[in-house]
Chain A
Amino acid sequence: MTTGTGTVITYREAMKQAIREALASDPRVFVMGEDVGKYGGCYAVTKGLLDEFGEERIRDTPLSESAFVGAGVGAAVAGMRPIVEIMTVNFSLLAADQIVNSAATLSHMSGGQFHVPLVIRMATGAGRQLAAQHSHSLECWYAHVPGLRVVEPATIDDARGVLRPALACPDPVLIFEPNSLYNMEGELTGAAATADLSTARVRREGKDVTLVTYGASLWRCMAAAEQLAAGGVEAEVVDLRSLRPLDDATILASVRRTRRVVIVDEGWRTGGLAAEVAMRVVEQGFYDLDAPIGRVCSEEVPIPYPKHLEDAALPSVERIVTAVRRTMGDAE
């Protein structure tokens, strides 16, 4: 059952509605991955779809990430529109060869003769006490690779809307879904219809500082912005949405308004996406800045299991507020 504008649904349900719509409207679309059928999806995103669409189109795969991601590449090149679910980004490393060496290269290496209209969905992120091997945020590794498109919907509308342009795109698209957002509820608005694969959005306007972020950190930034507002600092929050390509124009336009920027990224600091965003601001907006760029990233540690340590490792509202105050020149 697809719900209309104005309904309150979960992030999970938004994604499921998008998949159901794609399956119903295009016979080339099918879903494949571990436990997507009988089990209903590791995060229950595909629950019920097996009964609705059958085993031919909702395909449970063996635990063989390289084979089923590679099969997705092959099926896409051969004219199908596969939606491959990798349970989490952690396991995507077992399929990295197919994503980086095949999906990303075939168009260029074949001189444009072949394309890979493949969608790969995977959960990402920490925050659920799952320890080091289930808590990675490795989006930036894939955003590093020419030939891939990388998006991370952080809102209900984007979760509902991004699959359609991803499937229409002739290039491989990686959709990262923050696992801590699946239960988030929100109202579906008309904005779902305008989701795309290349633009950032200003989620909160403010004149004093720009917070650039993506994924689950968006909501930490929104909370931090509320706290800061209580102290008289108006933060503008930019949700990147697309990690490759990056929407330089939206980032720079905001920075030119606020003249200060803090980047919030659940990935590690070293060689991370925050570094890339910061450098683009420096290259294109150095003289617009009134203060050094700040970064709030995960601590350089494999994400630990106990809650107090995990919390300490991740970007928190408190750390974001502190970083903003430092950027504003407040004494610590």
Chain B
Amino acid sequence: MNELPAGITRERGLHLLTEMLRIRQFEGRCAELYSAGRIRGFLHLYDGEEAVAVGVMQVLGKGDSIVSTYREHGHAIARGIAMGPLMAELYGKRTGCSGGRGGSMHIFDAATRFYGGNAIVGGGLPLAVGIGLAEKMRGGRGVAACFFGEGAAAEGEFHESLNLAALWKLPVLFLCENNLYAMGTALARSESQTDIHAKAAAYGVRAVAVDGMDVFAVEAATHGAADFARAGKGPTLIEFRTYRFRAHSMFDAQLYRDKAEVEEWRRHGPVISLTTRLKAAGLMTEDDFQRIQGEADAEVKAAVDFAEQSEWEPVEDLTRHVYAEVSAP
């Protein structure tokens, strides 16, 4: 168990826990709603990886951009996308944050510069490079934060993107959530070099590996990467070592890993780890925990009510937005 970093206040600790619990309670409800047939399509849950999204988002400001994956509910919630439109998107309702057209894998939100969950593994990396390029060419201070799993490191787009971002010293944060399994393929079964961060050296990209279960370690590493990028020094690859507690998607029978392995990881999961440390430091009581969880549940319930009560997009609108209806800004 990592020590709580020095100087962590009760307020700070509770805030981070709140953010993680909001994600966890939201997704717990999603799993139920999926079984009940209210949410369809693919549903990829983030359970176990919450410290990564929450830690990263503490560092990013309004001027920064996010490119995400199909496992992006946690990123969206931590970024500040309201739960109501998020849940409505999972339902496919017109009030969803993408107008209901994307569903779970394609969360978009212009207001928070959330450039989508991308459901092509590796497909988001070139996009983030381009957003970083635009930022640099305009002389802005924003960074493009790009989440992807360790499976993406086998894709050509990973290598092409690292090279280009490093060559042009672009303000891109390559944020690898290494949860050890690309769907059902264990890292060692698919990669000759299983240290993802080591690959960055070939491109001259600054790289670090950190404990993705420790929200403070995530935040510190992201700070370093963002400062480096804002100073015009180029991209960083951060390998967050984490684990997903649930299946890859709701169709996954998890034949590829032992239950004991999952249980072992659960024992030092991000929520339990932070809770234990805050309590041990005397910064939080069990009552605090129950209250925070209760508030998160209430927020989720309101989001579900919003989604349930929202209307479907009329079929007449089927082909809207295939092409732009207004001139781009």
Contact = CB atoms under 8 A, between A and B. Distances in A.
Given A69-B126, A107-B323, A109-B108, 13 more contacts: A67-B164, A68-B126, A70-B130, A74-B127, A74-B130, A97-B157, A108-B321, A109-B98, A111-B101, A112-B99, A114-B108, A114-B116, A170-B324
A111 B130 contact: no
Nearest to B142: A78
Interface string B38-81: 00000000000000000000000000010100000000000000
Interface of A: 30, 56, 59, 61-62, 64, 66-80, 82, 97-98, 101-102, 106-115, 117, 146-147, 149, 169-171
27 contacts: A62-B163, A64-B163, A67-B125, A67-B160, A70-B127, A70-B130, A70-B161, A71-B126, A71-B133, A73-B126, A74-B67, A74-B127, A74-B128, A74-B131, A74-B133, A79-B134, A79-B138, A97-B120, A97-B123, A106-B108, A108-B321, A108-B322, A109-B98, A109-B116, A110-B116, A111-B98, A115-B324
Nearest to B158: A67
B101 A71 contact: no
A166 B156 CA distance: 30
B324 A112 contact: yes
B322 A147 contact: yes
Contacts of A61: 164
B235 interface: no
A181 B97 CA distance: 46
A114 B115 contact: yes
Contact of B96 (A67, A70, A107, A111): A111
B110 interface: yes
Given A62-B160, A62-B164, A62-B167, A111 B123 contact: no
Contacts of A64: 156, 160, 163-164
Contacts of B319: 146
A44 B308 CA distance: 58
Contacts of A56: 137
Contacts of A117: 328
A109 B157 contact: no
A90 to B, nearest CB: 17
Minimum-distance CB pairs A-B, first 6: A74-B130, A70-B126, A111-B99, A67-B160, A64-B160, A110-B108
Contacts of B175: none
B321 A107 contact: yes
B219 interface: no
A108 B319 CA distance: 8
B167 A113 contact: no
Given A97-B157, A113-B109, A74 B126 contact: yes
A106 B124 CA distance: 12
A174 to B, nearest CB: 14
B130 A76 contact: yes
Contact of B328 (A73, A97, A115): A115
B130 A108 contact: no
Contacts of A106: 108, 116
A78 B131 contact: yes
A294 B133 CA distance: 49
Contact of A79 (B98, B144, B325, B329): B329
Nearest to B105: A109
A256 B200 CA distance: 62
Contact of B137 (A72, A80, A97): A80
Of A82, A110, A117, A170, most B-chain CB atoms within 10 Å:
A110
A108 B323 CA distance: 7
Contact of A101 (B123, B128, B327): B123
A75 B321 contact: no
Nearest to A67: B160
Given A30-B137, A66-B160, A97-B157, A113 B126 contact: no
B136 to A, nearest CB: 9
A66 B157 contact: yes
A292 B216 CA distance: 73
Nearest to A104: B322
B326 interface: yes
Of B123, B125, B137, B161, most A-chain CB atoms within 10 Å:
B137
A79 B328 CA distance: 8
B28 interface: no
B13 interface: no
Contacts of A71: 126-127, 129-130, 133, 164
